[in-house]
């Protein structure tokens, strides 16, 4: 799922065939009514406080709009609190969120942040805006991804919206409800009206500590240029927002807690000790996310890295080695290793066409999967590859999806009949994955151009077995 959705939202009051019903609302619904698409307070003739709320999860890149009408001049005894964001259904209870106070003593618009029972005024608009006997005001509120609030308003006799104020606050993110609280005296218990209520934006998703393989290593540079630095790229492989401060990066000897940051679904983050010494050698796009942090030691020949949860659970791990680079890479200084897909365990060299690394964006050697038949090994890649590290079919991939408990032997044979390389030896397969050949033989040398055959033998403990041969071509670009 994603994770971070953008959708338009119009309250059920205004769009559904039962528009004069309050079944979508919570709270003091007996004190409100809907008539001709207008929500109104309809409380008994005595002083009181009434609230009405509805589920809503919009919190960033969001817009809220509403037209409010009063049959009187608002005051400190008769005013509205419009909750834009609340983590509780009961808007009169202890909660965390934001609301607009409309009216009150200064007869204006104010934005408040509520922390439990405490209210903190963040900004206020022009005093006296609501000083007429019957006030009607249109409100438009924006909140961007950085927490910048912009509030605009327009009175019934005004042609254009005016800017009430702007302020930045991103203290609260959890959003489950929005709605209204009406504070009223006995003579004003039926004098509050709301129409044209609308909200849209990015929906709130709980920020969670990651589980295994929800955050993964996606690219590493362990042998940088002389004036460069190592980097590690992580990828959020889940449908949730993940908190990096609950993750540690480690080698065999040292663990380092990552900085606090919310990593969104399908997003990348680059960990390094110095951003400038990475971007001096590789393309760093404007929207690339870097976090400067210490990294565990990453030896130039081989090493081990792991991502750990706070309680020591391994979220992902990697044993890397120089031998994982493509055969044509004679000198791997400054060449990163890229994961071919976040759900794959196969790695290869970044392409020279991108400058040998892709920090913070899609890997140059990324390949998608197309699993079809659920019971047999399937060939789903091109039958021709050219291991020249140009970023185009540099590695041969065999994609499979098979039953749990399946073992495999996989060989590469020259078309003349002699074996070149064994890719798998009695290996227990996962339910789906990839088998990779980079064009090298058992001695680590690049094979010559020609026709080869991938011979696959699968078997299981219950005696079921199958064999398959796949002809492929190892070529070279002209």
In 237-363, beta strands by DSSP E: 241-243, 247-250, 255-257, 262-263, 268-272, 290-292, 302-309, 314-321, 337-339, 347-349
Cβ partners under 8 Å of residue 472, min gap 6: 383, 384, 385, 396, 451, 452, 453, 454
| Residues in contact with 9: Cβ distance below 8 Å, sequence separation at least 6, in sequence order | 56, 58, 198, 199, 200
Q: Are 344 and 237 in contact (CB under 8 A)?
A: no
List the pLDDT tens digit at each of the 478 positions of the chain: 222 233 333 343 333 333 445 667 899 999 999 988 899 999 999 999 999 999 998 888 899 999 999 999 999 999 999 999 999 999 999 999 999 999 999 999 999 999 999 999 999 999 999 999 899 999 999 998 778 999 999 999 999 999 999 999 989 988 999 999 999 999 999 999 999 999 988 877 777 789 999 999 999 999 999 999 999 999 999 888 888 999 999 999 999 999 988 888 899 999 999 999 999 999 999 888 999 999 999 999 999 999 999 999 999 999 999 999 987 788 999 999 999 889 888 898 998 889 999 999 999 988 776 544 444 555 555 678 888 888 788 888 887 777 777 888 999 999 988 999 999 998 887 777 788 888 999 988 999 999 999 988 888 877 767 888 888 999 876 5
30 phi/psi in degrees, rounded to 5: -75, -10
Its pTM surpasses 0.85: no
**Strand, coil or helix: 205:** coil
Domain range 368-478, CATH class: mainly beta
What pLDDT, on the 0 to 100 scale, is given for residue 470? 87
Residue positions counted in the chain: 478
pLDDT given at position 37 = 85
- Compute the distance between CA of residue 339 and CA of residue 320 in angstroms, rounded to an integer: 11
What φ, ψ does residue 172 adopt, rounded to 5°? -105, 135
Fold match, 6-203 / 368-478: no
Q: What is the rounded CA–CA span in Å between residue 36 and residue 103? A: 25
Task: Give the pLDDT of residue 21.
Answer: 54
Q: What DSSP designation does 353 have?
A: G
Cα separation of 337 and 358, whole Å? 10
Degrees, nearest 5: CA angle 232-234-240 = 165
Cα of 163 vs its chain's centroid, Å? 32
Residues 18, 366: Cα–Cα separation, whole Å? 50
Whose CA is closest to 241, among 270, 275, 202, 273?
Answer: 202
Which run of H or of E encompasses 342? none
| CA–centroid distance for 339 within its chain | 19
- Measured in degrees and rounded to the nearest 5, phi and psi for residue 322 equal -60, -30
DSSP 8-state assignment for residue 262: E
Q: What share of the chain is helix, strand, coil (3-state, %, to 5)?
A: 5, 50, 45
Residue 324 CB contacts under 8 Å (≥ 6 apart), including other chains:
337, 347, 348, 349
Helix (H) or strand (E) holding 13: helix 12-15
For residue 179, how far is the Cα from the chain centroid? 27
Which string of b and e fits 406-428 if b means at least 16 CB within 10 Å? bbbbbbbbbeeeeebbebbeeee
C-alpha distance from residue 404 to each of 345, 436, 455 (Å): 17, 20, 21
Alpha helices in 269-319 (DSSP H): 276-279
Token pair in block for residue 380: 């789903």
- Rounded to 5 degrees, what angle do the CA atoms 57, 63, 67 make? 105
Rounded CA-CA distance 176/203 in Å is 9
CATH code that applies to domain 6-203: 2.60.120.200
Residue 440 DSSP code: B
CA distance 174 to 86: 7
Chain-centre distance for alpha carbon 231: 21
3-state secondary structure of 147: coil
What is the pLDDT at residue 1? 22
Helix (H, G, I), strand (E, B) or coil at 312: coil
Number of neighbouring beta carbons within 10 Å of residue 92 = 15
Does the domain made of 207-366 have the CATH classification 2.60.40.1260?
yes
- Domain ranges for the chain, please list them: 6-203, 207-366, 368-478
Nearest alpha-carbon partner for 292 in 230, 363, 237: 230
Q: What is the spatial distance between Cα 77 and Cα 283, in angstroms, rounded to a whole number?
A: 60
Amino acid 6: pLDDT? 31
Strand order in the sheet with 255-257: 255-257, 247-250, 302-309, 314-321
The pLDDT, as a whole number, for residue 369 is: 60
């Amino acid at each position: 799922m994603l994770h971070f959705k953008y959708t338009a939202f119009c309250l059920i009051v205004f769009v559904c065939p039962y528009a004069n019903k309050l079944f979508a609302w919570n709270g003091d619904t007996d004190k409100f009514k809907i008539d001709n698409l207008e929500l109104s307070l309809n409380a008994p003739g005595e002083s009181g406080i009434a609230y009405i709320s509805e589920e809503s999860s919009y919190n960033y890149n969001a817009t809220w709009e509403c037209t409010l009408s009063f049959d009187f001049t608002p005051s400190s005894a008769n005013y509205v609190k419009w909750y834009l964001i609340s983590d509780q259904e009961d808007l009169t209870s202890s909660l965390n969120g934001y609301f607009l106070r409309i009216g009150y003593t200064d007869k204006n618009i104010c934005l408040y942040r509520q922390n439990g029972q405490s209210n903190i005024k963040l900004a206020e608009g022009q005093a006296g805006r609501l000083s007429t006997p019957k006030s009607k005001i249109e409100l438009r509120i924006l909140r961007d991804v950085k927490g910048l609030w912009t509030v605009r308003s327009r009175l019934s006799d005004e042609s254009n919206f005016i800017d009430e104020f702007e302020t930045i606050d991103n203290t609260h993110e959890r959003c489950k409800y929005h709605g209204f609280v009406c504070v009223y005296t006995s003579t004003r218990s039926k004098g509050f009206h709301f129409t044209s209520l609308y909200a849209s934006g990015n929906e709130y998703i709980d920020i969670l500590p990651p589980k295994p393989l929800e955050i993964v290593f996606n690219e590493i540079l362990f042998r940088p240029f002389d004036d460069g630095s190592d980097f590690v790229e992580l990828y959020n492989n889940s449908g949730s927002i993940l908190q990096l401060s609950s993750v540690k990066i480690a080698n065999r000897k040292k663990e380092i807690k990552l900085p606090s940051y919310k990593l969104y679904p399908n997003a990348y983050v680059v960990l390094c000790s110095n951003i400038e010494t990475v971007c001096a050698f590789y393309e760093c796009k404007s929207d690339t996310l870097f976090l400067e942090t210490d990294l565990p030691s990453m030896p130039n020949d081989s090493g081990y890295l792991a991502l750990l949860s706070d309680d020591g659970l391994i979220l992902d791990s990697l044993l890397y080695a120089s031998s994982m680079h493509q055969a044509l890479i004679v000198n791997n200084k400054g060449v990163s290793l890229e994961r071919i897909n976040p759900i794959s365990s196969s790695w290869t060299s970044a392409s020279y066409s991108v400058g040998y690394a892709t920090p913070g964006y899609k890997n140059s050697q990324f390949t998608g999967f197309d699993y079809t038949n659920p019971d047999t090994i399937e060939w789903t890649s091109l039958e021709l590859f050219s291991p020249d590290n140009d970023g185009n079919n540099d590695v041969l991939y065999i994609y499979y999806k098979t039953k749990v408990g399946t073992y495999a032997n996989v060989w590469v044979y020259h078309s003349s009949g002699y074996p070149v390389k064994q890719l798998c030896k009695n290996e227990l397969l996962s339910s789906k994955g990839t088998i990779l050949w980079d064009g090298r033989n058992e001695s680590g040398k690049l094979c010559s151009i020609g026709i080869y055959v991938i011979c696959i033998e699968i078997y299981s403990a219950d005696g079921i077995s199958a064999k398959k041969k796949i002809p492929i071509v190892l070529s070279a670009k002209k």
